[in-house]
Amino acid sequence: AIDISALRKETGFVTFDPGYGNTCPSKSSITFLNGEAGALRYRGYTIAELCEKHTFEEASYLTLYGELPTAEQLAEFKSGVNAYSKMPKQLEKIFEAYPDTIHPMVMINVLTSSLSAYFPEVTSISDPAQVEKATQVAIGQMLTFVAFAYRKSIGASFEYPTEPCSSAAGLLKMMFGNDYVVDPDVEKVIDELLILHVDHEFNCSTSAVRLIGSSQANLFASVSGGISALWGPLHGGANQAVVEMLQFIHENNIDPQEYLEKVKRKEDGIRLMGFGHRVYKNYDPRARIIKKTCDRVMAKLGKEDPLLAIAQKLEAAALEDEYFTSRKLYPNVDFYSGIVYRAIKIPTEMFTPLFALGRLPGWIAHWREQNSDPKARIGRPRQIYTGETQR
Ligand code: ACO
């Protein structure tokens, strides 16, 4: 990497880099990603090992603090987060202000942004104790926001779990009610999906969090910007978009090969959703794990989903097709995750909120990393002006 700051000072040199494809705004020690090799590790641990041997809470702790927790550290972390898992009563009024048809991403964004108002005592960016509490508030509240956004969409009242449970089980209980019996395999699947989404270096939403945080905006304000960035269909919104694409193909009885031809002709700008990645030019390692999970879930539930059959046909055809292979377009994390969520009865509009829940520890870790760097500067790209210079 070339450090162009000195060059810029001397010559006014500016890099033109659409989409920041080749721009590195800072160093980071959170996530190792090698797109050519298809490798992804949080603090040096592979995602496969974390999914196999650890929980979402442990992966969150690892991402935030750099080491896997001891039993004592984990218990302390969980109790810190649990202390903030109840939503302030006044926030219920915010739910009342929106129609039930609202997309849950709007709800969790508005609620996260409101945390600055309800927890003003933890909005300092320079007091480590406040940063620690803000971390616990954000993680504790987000699970509740995600579950309650769903409850609102079905017009149901809010419920908290009656006994201590994992984030995955708590999410299911809060979404579907305390009578819902959590199948340990389903709990494991959610836990695994959350782990796979924890961090992904300087992706669009994390970069948004870092950029907002670089102005010294507090953690809640920065994270709510990340939620907005995540919602778009080219990023975290792709999991919903994939299932909608598969449904469209299914309901209109379109031959998958024919659909691929439309994609290749770029008809109406359509893309094969869930395919392609800025960094992975080989198979996305998260997709590899999710595909196996998908097979496991379908076998366990004895289910057949016509959308899965369409996805498999699309994938097989695309992997043989020069359009996709020459552009190095392979399935990404979102291609099969929606099918897994469908199998365990998570509604389509909740896919992206679940992504946000998983990504939250990563956003916070990045905000904290940048915030603790004494040399961090405000993010401020330059333009190449193409308008009238004077009129
Ligand atoms: N389907 C069809 N063609 C595609 C696709 C796709 N999914 N993705 C890229 N291409 C084509 C582009 O049209 C372009 O073709 P060209 O060379 O003929 O102009 C070429 O591949 C390069 O594409 P870019 O848009 O330059 O790639 P970029 O790195 O900017 O975009 C992205 C990456 C946004 C992920 C893109 O592949 C995409 O839109 N995929 C579909 C949406 C998706 O699944 N997003 C989730 C990504 S994972 C995540 O964020 C969690």
**Ligand 1 cavity residues, CB under 6 Å:** 19, 234-236, 238, 263, 271-278, 327, 329, 332-334
How far, rounded to the nearest angstrom, does the alpha carbon of residue 51 sit from its chain's CA centroid? 16
pLDDT reading at 1 higher than 80: no
Atom of ligand 1 nearest to the CA of 200: 51
This complex has an ipTM of: 0.98
Q: Taking residues 53-69, what's their average pLDDT?
A: 98
Quote the mean pLDDT of the chain. 95
In the structure, what pLDDT confidence band is assigned to residue 256 with cuts at 50, 70 and 90?
very high
- 353-367 pLDDT, tens per residue? 999 999 999 999 999
Residue nearest to atom 44 of ligand 1 (CA): 274
What pLDDT does residue 77 have?
98
What pLDDT does residue 7 have?
78
pLDDT reading at 298 higher than 90: no
Mutate to test the pocket of ligand 1, among 329, 333, 336 (most ligand atoms within 8 A of CB): 329
In the structure, what pLDDT confidence band is assigned to residue 301 with cuts at 50, 70 and 90?
confident
269-278 b/e with 16+ CB inside 10 Å = b? Answer: eeebbbbbbe
Q: Is the distance from CB of 346 to CB of 146 less than 8 angstroms?
A: no
- Calculate how far, in angstroms, residue 27's C-alpha sits from the geometric centre of ligand 1: 26
Question: Could you tell me how many helices (H) and strands (E) the chain has, helices first?
Answer: 18, 3
What pLDDT does residue 65 have?
98
pTM of the model: 0.96
What pLDDT does residue 59 have?
98
Let me know if 250 is a catalytic residue. Answer: no
- Calculate how far, in angstroms, residue 174's C-alpha sits from the geometric centre of ligand 1: 36
In the structure, what pLDDT confidence band is assigned to residue 14 with cuts at 50, 70 and 90?
confident
- Calculate how far, in angstroms, residue 217's C-alpha sits from the geometric centre of ligand 1: 31
In the structure, what pLDDT confidence band is assigned to residue 13 with cuts at 50, 70 and 90?
confident
Let me know if 200 is a catalytic residue. Answer: no
- 86-105 pLDDT, tens per residue? 999 999 999 999 998 999 99
What pLDDT does residue 61 have?
98
Q: Could you tell me whether strands 39-42 and 31-34 are parallel, antiparallel, or unpaired per DSSP bridges?
A: antiparallel
Q: Which of 199, 284, 334, 366 is catalytic?
A: 334
- 189-242 pLDDT, tens per residue? 999 999 999 999 999 999 999 999 999 999 999 999 999 999 999 999 999 999
Residue nearest to atom 3 of ligand 1 (CA): 271
Q: Taking residues 348-355, what's their average pLDDT?
A: 97
Full DSSP string of 99-139: -TTS-HHHHHHHHHHHHHHH-GGG--SS-HHHHHHHHHHHH
What pLDDT does residue 75 have?
97
